[in-house]
Amino acid sequence: MSDRGVLLVNLGSPASTEVADVRRYLNQFLMDPLVVDLPWPLRRLLVSMILLRRPKASAEAYASIWWDEGSPLVVISRRVQQALQAQLDMPVELAMRYGQPSIEQGLLKLAQQPGVREVLFMPQYPQHADSTITTSVREAQRVIAKHQLPLTLTVVPAFYDRSDYLEALVASAKPYFEQPFDHVLLSYHGLPERHLKKADPTGSHCLASPDCCERPSPAHATCYRAQCTAVSKQFAQRLGLAPEQWSQAFQSRLGRDKWIEPYTETRIDELAAQGVKRLLVLCPAFVADCIETLEEIGDRAREQFIEAGGQELVLVPCLNDHPQWVATLAQWCRTTPRAA
């Protein structure tokens, strides 16, 4: 038995679709300084304004996609955890950055397991963002320090360029490409442009030119948009898609700031106007289906596309608990070297 335990980490969901639970979840999420990156007084003011209306609208959206067992994101993540546990001779726990099960609960559980001294910390995000991976790692470090846990952390970084991840993505999506289609839209979660610039270690590459993500740079080690672009290109190449058969866009914008473009909403109208009738949409910023895929794309974007003249929008499911993805994660658990 190894001294490794595994913590699978995702973003999290409200405890229920009650407005009060959604408000509590949104407050915890949006008050994270790595998500809304404003000084505390301004962040408090902005988030309080968002919390006037958003919880009710979000609660309705959650209610429309909620499963009997709970939030799709949490239920799917639990299935992946259980499937992984069945393949591994080390304890596997699940944690969410916001809501429950928390990172604190997950680390405390692992620390109680006999012999566990190292945690393989696996944020379930293919692309790097401070609002997803960095905040989760910082929370884990805070919890370890607070409880003085005898655990070291080995973090699995963004895996956008790992061939086994890309192969699993292609394998899970392939059945949806057997029917004829006119276009494939790869729709990623959006990010404020400011976040992209802040994460640029060179301080001068990201967004300095329209084609910055096409030009190699050390900035791409932490550039969310470059990493999305890399996934899109690899996916298209592996499926043999011609350049005019696919495009990339960014969804889920919140607030008035400029987020990375093009926006999915705009792209949906453009594609319908260009005569695209059957559109496949894939959401490779998420490994598990969630409100952003099921409701924003599967319901709202579908309605928008059809109103704009399209005929069918097919939402390609995320990796979820696809056997090839679970096998890939299990292999990473066995082979990732311990952090020095």
Footprint on this chain of ligand L6N33NVT (rule: CB under 6 A) = 11, 13, 26, 35-36, 54, 58, 71, 73, 125, 129, 131-132, 189, 191, 224, 252, 254, 285-286, 290-292
Question: Tokens representing 252?
Answer: 């889920």
Q: Does residue 236 belong to the site contacting Fe ion (CB under 5 A)?
A: no
Q: Which residues are annotated as a binding site?
A: 189, 292
CB of 189 to ligand L6N33NVT, least distance (A): 4
CB of 30 to ligand L6N33NVT, least distance (A): 6
Q: Does residue 80 belong to the site contacting Fe ion (CB under 5 A)?
A: no
Residue from 36, 96, 226, 294 binding Fe ion (CB under 5 A) = 226
Q: Cβ(101)–Cβ(5) under 8 Å?
A: no
CB of 275 to ligand L6N33NVT, least distance (A): 31
Q: Does residue 285 belong to the site contacting Fe ion (CB under 5 A)?
A: no
Choose between 200 and 292: whose C-beta lies nearer to ligand L6N33NVT.
292
CB of 304 to ligand L6N33NVT, least distance (A): 16
- The listed partner (ligand L6N33NVT, Fe ion, none) that binds 259, CB under 5 to 8 Å by sort, is none
CB of 254 to ligand L6N33NVT, least distance (A): 4
- The listed partner (ligand L6N33NVT, Fe ion, none) that binds 290, CB under 5 to 8 Å by sort, is ligand L6N33NVT
Task: Kindly tell me the sign of the dihedral angle through the C-alpha atoms of 48, 53, 55, 58.
Answer: negative
CB of 127 to ligand L6N33NVT, least distance (A): 7
Q: Which residues are annotated as a binding site for Fe(2+)?
A: 189, 292
User: Tell me, what DSSP letter sits at residue 37?
Assistant: -
Question: Tokens representing 227?
Answer: 């990493």
Q: Does residue 228 belong to the site contacting Fe ion (CB under 5 A)?
A: no
SS3 content of the chain, % helix, strand, coil (to 5): 50, 15, 35
- Containing 56, the helix (H) or strand (E) segment is helix 40-65
Choose between 118 and 296: whose C-beta lies nearer to ligand L6N33NVT.
296
- The listed partner (Fe ion, ligand L6N33NVT, none) that binds 213, CB under 5 to 8 Å by sort, is Fe ion
DSSP states of 241-309:
--GGGEEEEEE---SSS-BSSSBHHHHHHHHHHTT--EEEEE-TT-SS--HHHHTIIIIIIHHHHHHTT
- The listed partner (Fe ion, ligand L6N33NVT, none) that binds 130, CB under 5 to 8 Å by sort, is none
- Containing 94, the helix (H) or strand (E) segment is strand 92-96
Question: Tokens representing 42?
Answer: 């301004």
Q: Cβ(90)–Cβ(5) under 8 Å?
A: yes
Please count the other Cβ atoms lying within 10 Å of the Cβ belonging to residue 171: 16
- The listed partner (Fe ion, ligand L6N33NVT, none) that binds 283, CB under 5 to 8 Å by sort, is none
Q: Which residues contact 101 (CB under 8 A, 6 or more apart)?
A: 93, 94, 95
Locate tokens 């970084």: which residue? 157
CB of 226 to Fe ion, least distance (A): 5
* Length reported for the chain: 340
Q: How big is the CA angle at 170 (ends 168 and 172), to the nearest 5 degrees?
A: 65
Q: Cβ(214)–Cβ(243) under 8 Å?
A: no
Choose between 272 and 301: whose C-beta lies nearer to ligand L6N33NVT.
301
User: Tell me, what DSSP letter sits at residue 336?
Assistant: P
Residue from 212, 294, 316, 326 binding Fe ion (CB under 5 A) = 212
**Binding residues for Fe ion, per CB under 5 A?**
206, 212-213, 223, 226
